[in-house]
């Protein structure tokens, strides 16, 4: 990755699963640089004024996927509020280059909210047809002013709803962190909101404080509580649910995609009978 001047969210966000994923030759590539224009209270990615967009990034990303023999790749990015399209065109170029270079690789993207530019950004990216479109809600709406002040909860929901409206065949995915001070019923409401937006896949993991300057951990949620949340989510109709203390958006992404695709095929089979 470093030889190709690529960033990974595994390193930048200090993911606790980095050792396991890299041993399996699985990594999430972070495009559009390593500097974010926002400063969310939970995130370890550095903030400031980003540099120029690297025109070689799409080709380098595809080259990395080919060299590693990836069957499934996750592409994410920093927020780029400084760009006219929020960076959407770079996502499109990366997807197109991956399709050309490694056509058998399934593609999952994890995008920012494209604040103020959402509609044209979604139209362009959906037209490039990623297999999975992920955008994380991160937390319950009550905590947005302190945890995710640069974003709006219902705008993020609308983004995922728009993806489905434009192309119902694209799997949609979102995640929340637990342990930030949310209440149980608030988490249940987030699940309901996601299902109303027809989101297919929910991830839930424990928030871990990256540094003392970030939001503090209010609670370490027990594995039993995660299991209970997972059972409730499945009962609400998600095709796939991953809920555990170490769950992160891209953790076991390839395996989860295969299971989600199988679940949809089984559901469609039952519908035809």
Cβ proximity of 198 and 237 under 8 Å = no
Strand order from edge to edge, sheet including 201-206: 7-8, 28-31, 72-77, 106-110, 132-134, 171-178, 201-206, 240-243
Q: Which of 67, 55, 57 is nearest to 31 (CA)?
A: 57
Residue 196 marked as a ligand binder: no
For 244, residues 6+ apart whose C-beta sits below 8 A from its C-beta are 204, 205, 223, 226, 230
Q: Which of 30, 31, 29, 109 is nearest to 67 (CA)?
A: 29
**Distances, alpha carbon 239 to alpha carbons 96, 165, 168, 169, in Å:** 27, 18, 14, 13
Residue 21 marked as a ligand binder: yes
For 87, residues 6+ apart whose C-beta sits below 8 A from its C-beta are 31, 32, 53, 77, 80, 112, 114
Q: Measured between alpha carbons, how far is 131 from 29 in angstroms, rounded to an integer? A: 16
Q: How many CB atoms sit inside 10 A of residue 121's CB?
A: 24
Cβ proximity of 79 and 114 under 8 Å = no
> Which residues are annotated as part of the binding site for [4Fe-4S] cluster?
10, 15, 21, 36, 40, 43, 250
> Which residues are annotated as part of the binding site?
10, 15, 21, 36, 40, 43, 250
């Amino acid at each position: 990755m470093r030889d190709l001047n690529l960033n990974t969210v595994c390193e930048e966000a200090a993911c606790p699963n980095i050792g396991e994923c890299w041993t399996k030759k699985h990594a999430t590539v972070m495009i559009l640089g390593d500097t974010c224009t926002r400063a969310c209270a939970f995130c370890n990615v550095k903030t400031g004024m980003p540099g120029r967009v690297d025109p070689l990034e799409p080709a380098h990303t595809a080259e990395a996927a080919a060299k590693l023999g990836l069957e499934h790749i996750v592409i994410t990015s920093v927020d780029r509020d400084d760009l006219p399209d929020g960076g959407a065109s770079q996502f499109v170029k990366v997807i197109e280059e991956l399709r050309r270079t490694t056509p058998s690789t399934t593609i999952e993207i994890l995008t920012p909210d494209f604040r103020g530019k959402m509609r044209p950004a979604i139209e362009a990216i959906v037209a490039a047809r990623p297999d999975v479109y992920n955008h994380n809600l991160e937390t319950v709406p009550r905590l947005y002013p302190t945890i995710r002040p640069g974003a709006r909860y219902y705008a993020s929901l609308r983004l995922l709803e728009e993806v489905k409206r434009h192309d119902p065949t694209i799997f949609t995915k979102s995640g929340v962190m637990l342990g930030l001070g949310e209440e149980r019923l608030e988490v249940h409401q987030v699940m309901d909101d996601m299902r109303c937006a027809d989101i297919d896949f929910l991830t839930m993991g424990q928030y871990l404080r990256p540094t003392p300057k970030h939001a503090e951990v209010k609670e370490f949620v027990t594995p039993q509580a995660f299991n209970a949340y997972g059972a409730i989510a499945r009962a609400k109709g998600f095709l796939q649910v991953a809920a555990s203390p170490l769950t992160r958006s891209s953790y076991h992404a390839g395996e989860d995609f295969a299971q989600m695709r199988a679940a949809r095929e089984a559901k469609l089979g039952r519908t035809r009978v």
